[in-house]
């Protein structure tokens, strides 16, 4: 699978001066477009479309400084319909316009090329299990919040604090299956997974019980889940776990992610610095 993923990245590099289609890239990688976009955003830290744009502007920057072609020719080569559009995109990435960069030899930014590789480290292990789960409901309170890649999400923290204790007690009592107790659920994320885009966050439980009308419910159909367990510094260890799942575990295992809610059961130490967690990711067999 690693070889196929890297073939897709090679295809990007050889077609930066031509149109690129995410569905075609997923076909080369022998995976779904949904999963391929997730893998790339986890690896690069930015959406696939932004990675491709940044790689194009990296190469365009080198050609601008080389001075062998007109700025308009460079703009057209990398898919810009006008010199003005190219100049705006160039300045947004490099902090300087192409004309000024060529005239002054300005220092420019570079987006490194991605590649998938399996890293084996003796200092840590990734514990996981694959299970099939019958249909269930997520029941609790829901909020639409921005996606934050690192650190505590203040919108989620404020939302949880605003839930009345008696409501939280009623929600907790509805839990009747694994993972037990209160869980954090993210759903309906923007496909780009870019920082600042919004997602549905549920603070609730998994249950077969009929939900009270004053609570939010998310039906979840039967399916397969990969369950990962870890412990470490809070919240960094949890955020690194998600990254490692997509950049290391998926490329070396015969599964791909599928649309669906991601479920996190976490227990934080009394001083708030350490946590143990189980992260449930919806998966399906990888495309062959």
Q: What is the pLDDT of residues 148-162, one digit of tens each?
A: 877 778 999 999 999
Do the beta carbons of residue 141 and residue 216 sit within 8 Å? yes
CB 275 within 8 A of CB 267: yes
Per-residue model confidence (pLDDT) at position 120: 46
CA angle 60, 62, 65 (to 5 degrees): 110
pLDDT exceeds cutoff 80 at 240: no
Give the domains, in start order, of the chain with CATH numbers.
2-104 (1.10.10.60), 127-285 (3.20.80.10)
Instruction: State the residue for tokens 């919004």.
Output: 198
Sign of the Cα pseudo-torsion (198, 204, 205, 206, in order) = negative
0.75 exceeded by pTM: no
Q: Does pLDDT of 281 surpass 50? A: yes
CB 241 within 8 A of CB 163: no
Identify whether the C-beta of residue 41 lies closer than 8 Å to the C-beta of residue 47: yes
57-80 residue pLDDT tens:
999 999 999 899 999 999 999 999
What mean pLDDT is predicted for residues 199-204? 96
pLDDT attached to residue 124: 43
Tens digit of each residue's pLDDT (9 = 90 or more) over 245-279: 887 788 877 899 999 999 999 888 888 788 888 99
Tokens of 122: 């003796």
Tokens for 277, please give them: 């967690």
Phi, psi of 214, deg, nearest 5? -85, 5
């Amino acid at each position: 699978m690693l070889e196929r993923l890297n073939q897709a990245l090679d295809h990007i590099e050889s077609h930066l001066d031509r149109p690129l289609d995410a569905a075609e890239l997923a076909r080369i990688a022998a995976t779904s477009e949904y999963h391929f976009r997730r893998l790339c955003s986890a690896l690069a830290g930015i959406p696939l479309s932004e990675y491709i744009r940044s790689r194009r502007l990296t190469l365009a920057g080198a050609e601008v400084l080389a001075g062998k072609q007109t700025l308009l020719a460079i703009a057209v080569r990398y898919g810009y319909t006008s010199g003005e559009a190219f100049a705006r995109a160039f300045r947004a990435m490099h902090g300087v316009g192409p004309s000024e960069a060529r005239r002054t030899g300005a220092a420019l930014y570079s987006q490194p090329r991605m590649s998938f590789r399996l890293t084996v480290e003796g200092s840590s292990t990734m514990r996981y299990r694959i299970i099939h789960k019958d249909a269930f409901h997520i029941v609790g309170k829901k909020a639409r919040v921005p996606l934050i890649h690192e650190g505590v999400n203040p919108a989620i923290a404020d939302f949880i604090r605003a839930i009345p204790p008696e409501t939280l007690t009623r929600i907790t009592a509805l839990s009747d299956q694994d993972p037990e107790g209160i869980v954090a659920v993210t759903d309906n994320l923007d496909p780009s997974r870019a920082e600042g885009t919004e997602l549905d966050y549920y603070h609730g439980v998994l249950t077969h019980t009929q939900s009270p009308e004053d609570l939010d419910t998310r039906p979840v159909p039967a399916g397969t889940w990969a369950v990962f367990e870890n412990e470490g510094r809070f919240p960094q260890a949890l955020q690194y776990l998600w990254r490692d799942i997509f950049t290391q575990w998926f490329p070396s295992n015969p599964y791909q992610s599928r649309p669906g809610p991601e479920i996190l059961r976490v227990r934080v130490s009394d001083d708030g610095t350490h946590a143990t967690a189980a992260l449930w990711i919806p998966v399906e067999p990888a495309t062959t």
